[in-house]
Structure 1
């Protein structure tokens, strides 16, 4: 069994069986491509079926000199997934990853923006251009609904159920969820659709996407990153932010204002409550206030 043949089958498995997004698939495949390159460069003649923990350990050690523990952990996780796939398909009986230790990384708390910083960013948008109205609607939607950037770019007009107060989101693994949308966010989306988007002629295949570029095509992830970083620069914001920062801020501000953690989990589309619990560590002052206010032994 050759590496490239196996990698092609693995790619199909990730897409069809696991329903991962193209970005996730690319990340998983890149992990294996790094391993293949290492084996080629060092003239190590093993196949996906014959490689052992010894060769894997050599590879991990070589990579560990160049990347931080968090990146190492992600790489090892990707390798484990690949060999689990080979076992699942019956190609191997055991994984060479069993004895490979994942470095301890600690829990990285997500960066967030204050309400004032979000107001400044949105206030810095130049509204004299059609793109300005669109960009304001984009930021209001990221923050108002806690969306991932891919969920925002893939949002469709047919996913908007404003009368019911929800939008339908297709998240990781093509899993769908209904996310509440407030009147404030609805207002700016509607303004963009009715006043700006109506004057665009969408390209074929892009007719249903909410957010379009000036050529009538679906916006890319990279474009959203660029919009946000340019706004951060314009107001002199020192934090390094991305579209995901608005998602983190959405969850953090909800929690600070008393929202239930389980409800936040459902809105974010997290499979496990453990993923959402990271937000419990962001504002210990707020948690202390909760105890002071509500505990019988305060």
Structure 2
């Protein structure tokens, strides 16, 4: 018999529509079993090589492993992503990936947000997890929709970019020179301030990266190589430093200690990155071109660079020239008569 009820109340299909091709599957209802039997008989007649695909019951960690094997290994931060994805899968209970419940994910996200994890970190993880499903579907590894496709990322309040004034730069350099035991900190800081480089980009510069007064950064965040000229004075300082101390080594901890000895207060997460903001801010304040700044910083889109546009002299002067008080010669105090508007 093709369909038979099992002792637990379910319905088992055992059908052989073509000699040598046998299909077995168990369903909760008799109707589902009958539809499966009918489909198998029709499909095998119309398409002899047809076979029903078994349900994908791989766990989320198994899917992450498949993603890394087929795609993630080629990414510059692939190992870091896999580590985060494995940790996320563990927190979610390593469910069957095809049955990942968006509500379970959203609850875990809320708990972590309330525990202090930043919204940006959580949005990054959501993007990584979506990428696993999207990439594997594109590669034919899965045939179902991304279960988190409709989950919206958290809305992030844009933070004010912190940058150092000339006085603060002098204070920071004095702290580094007077109390820092790591000789690499000062030249790295100077390179960041002179080129707008990220700390990691300056820290891993090779001896061949400085030629004819031009610093070339490779292995950047967006994978592109960019070159920025520096002064002859800084060029000679870095060359002398490398001859004496060798290539730069990890120095971020020493930099943070030097920064902590100053009166400078920066938002969380903007310690070393404030050097990059400082270059961009001073560049615009001194009349630099926004398109040139985009190339120097290596931004893939102008929208990222436009964060600094409000610091340009034209932008600042326009606020005065075109504001509602532009027609007033002076502003009166509470005890003074307001001047007539001429």
TM-score bucket (shorter structure): 0.7 to 0.9
Q: Could you tell me how far apart the structure 2 residues matched to 1:105 and 1:39 are? A: 24
| Alpha-carbon distance between aligned partners in 1 of 2:260 and 2:179, rounded to the nearest angstrom | 19
The answer as to 2:67 corresponding to 1:10 is: yes
Partner of 1:39: 92
Shift of 1:159: 1.4
Contact 1:31 1:79 in 2 (8 A): no
Structure 2 unaligned regions, length at least 5: 1-57, 328-342
TM-score normalised by the chain length of structure 2: 0.66
2:112 and 2:190 map into 1 onto residues whose CA distance is: 40
Q: State the match for 1:188 in structure 2.
A: 237
Higher-Rg member (1/2): 2
Q: Distance in 2 between matches of 1:84 and 1:252?
A: 38
- Listed one character per residue, the Cα deviations across residues 149-185 of structure 1 (whole Å, up to 9, x for unaligned) are 2212221111111x2x322111125321222222242
Deviation at 1:86, TM superposition (A): 2.4
Instruction: Please list the CA deviations of residues 75-106 of structure 1 after superposition, one character each: whole Å capped at 9, or x if unmatched.
Output: 32332233222223222442112221222213
Contact residue 147 and residue 268 of structure 1 kept, 8 A: yes
How far residue 246 of structure 1 moved from its aligned partner, in angstroms, is 0.6
Shift of 1:121: 1.0
Which of 293, 298, 307 is 1:269 aligned to? Answer: 298
Give distance in 1, aligned partners of 2:166 and 2:73: 38
- Structure showing the higher strand proportion among its residues: 2
1:148 Cα deviation after fit:
1.4
Partner of 1:258: 287
Given that 1:146 and 1:251 are in contact with CA atoms closer than 8 Å, whether structure 2 keeps it comes out as yes
- As a proportion of its length, which structure holds more helix? 1
In 1: Cα distance, 2:229 partner to 2:221 partner:
18
Distance 1:227 1:103 in 2: 34
Residues matched between the structures, number: 261
Of 100, 111, 122, 1:72 maps to 122
Q: Which moved more, 1:30-39 or 1:266-275?
A: 30-39
- How far is the alpha carbon of 1:278 from its aligned partner? 1.7
CA contact (8 A) 1:112 1:245 kept: yes
Task: Show the counterpart of 1:138.
Answer: 188
Taking the TM superposition and a 5 Å limit, the aligned residue runs for 1:15-164 are: 15-16=73-74, 19-21=75-77, 25-26=79-80, 28-40=81-93, 46-66=95-115, 67-90=117-140, 91-126=142-177, 131-132=182-183, 134-161=184-211, 163=212
What's the CA shift string for 1:110-134, capped at 9, x where partnerless? 22111221121112233799844x3
1:126 partner SS: helix
CA RMSD of aligned residues (A): 3.1
